[in-house]
Amino acid sequence: MTSFPPTGPGALRLMFPQWQGASGPQRHQALPGVDSHEGQLSYHLGPALLELMSPNHDGPTAYVPVSTDTSDEALATVDGIYARDAIVRQLGEALRVLRDAAPESVVTFGGECSVSVAPFSYLSSVYGDSLAVLWIDAHPDTGVPGDSYTGFRSMALATLAGEGDPGIVASLPALVPPRNILLVGLAHRDDAGMAVKERLGIQSVGITGTPEDNRRVMDWIAASGATALAVHVDLDVLDPRDFTDTQGRQTSGLRSAELVRLVSDAAAVAPIVGFSLAKHIPVEMMRLGGLLRDLPV
């Protein structure tokens, strides 16, 4: 199997436990036995567990400081974006970390989906039009301010393509042309962001699971002329038979082995210089934490 993602002194592991892009505590009241604000903060715990369980990394690791303030003031919706002030501040911190480290490749453990905005924008500034993005997600993430859902996670891919909040878009070191983006595993075709996706001309394929499906992705990479790839994986794309610690799961989805094969095949076409894992929500760990607080331990 092709080795991916790259490691070594030129590769940065970025810990970015941002949760504010998931809009509102009410969104997390569907997690039985978990306080709604703690449900939000579970995004903060997920990246730490990903790092704990991952293979040893022989390059540098950097941490983006993320607030855990759940006050109404800290999470105010501004210009159509929930917790915009925190989002902007933390995006700026992530970009500062990346500028200072100047890595050749970045592996990001998130947080919700918007954690890929900073590293993928940075990588686009390094590799230019030679970079292609595979956005492996059940949702298009091409929403914009003014949509009914105000979480920035739903706007992440549109922002990378230059659509959305003007101030946030202007703060990015580089954008990714829509022609260099492929959505993989898209299932929520009734999402409000679909109109922006179609207007921008971002191509997509459904849940892959056969050699023929994978070949469509590989053919797209080859046709793009990309010599470097950035791959975003929202864990809600996975089949619940294989993984359940996420939100917005499908009744059926991409099997774990299929995901590994897809990424491995892609790495054989062009080297992976960016890789993100997002939306790890360790619900059982949060429930255990609540139990421990109520016991005499």
| Distance separating the N- and C-terminal Cα atoms of the chain | 46
Instruction: Assess contact for 79 and 145: CB atoms under 8 A.
Output: yes
Q: How do the domains of the chain map onto residue ranges? A: 11-294
3-state secondary structure the chain: CCCCCCCCCCEEEEEECCCCCCCCHHHHCCCCCCCHHHHHHHHHHHHHHHHHHCCCCCCCEEECCCCCCCCCCCCCCECCECCHHHHHHHHHHHHHHHHHHCCCEEEEEECCHHHHHHHHHHHHHHHHHHEEEEEECCCCCCCCCCCCCCCHHHHHHHHHCCCCCHHHHHHCCCCCCHHHEEEECCCCCCCCCHHHHHHHCCEEECCCCCHHHHHHHHHHHHHHCCCEEEEEEEHHHECCCCCCCCCCCCCCCECHHHHHHHHHHHHHHCCEEEEEEECCCCHHHHHHHHHHHHCCC
Residue at token pair 């100047």: 102
CA distances from 71 to 66, 92, 93, 151 (A): 14, 21, 21, 16
Q: What is the pLDDT of residue 191?
A: 77
* Cα separation, 157 vs 111, whole angstroms: 15
pLDDT tens per residue, the chain (297 residues)? 444 556 667 799 999 999 999 887 665 555 555 566 666 777 778 888 888 888 888 889 999 999 989 899 999 999 999 999 999 999 999 999 999 999 999 999 998 999 999 999 999 999 999 999 999 998 999 999 999 999 999 999 999 999 999 999 999 999 999 999 999 988 877 677 899 999 999 999 887 667 777 899 999 999 999 999 999 999 888 877 766 655 555 566 788 888 989 999 999 999 999 999 998 777 777 667 766 677 777
**Residue 105 β-bridge partners:** 11
194, two tokens: 């679909």
Specify the pLDDT at position 186. 87
Confidence at residue 141, expressed as pLDDT on a 0 to 100 scale: 95
- Indicate the CATH number for domain 11-294: 3.40.800.10
d(CA 34, CA 89) in angstroms, rounded, equals 28
What per-residue confidence (pLDDT) applies to 1? 40
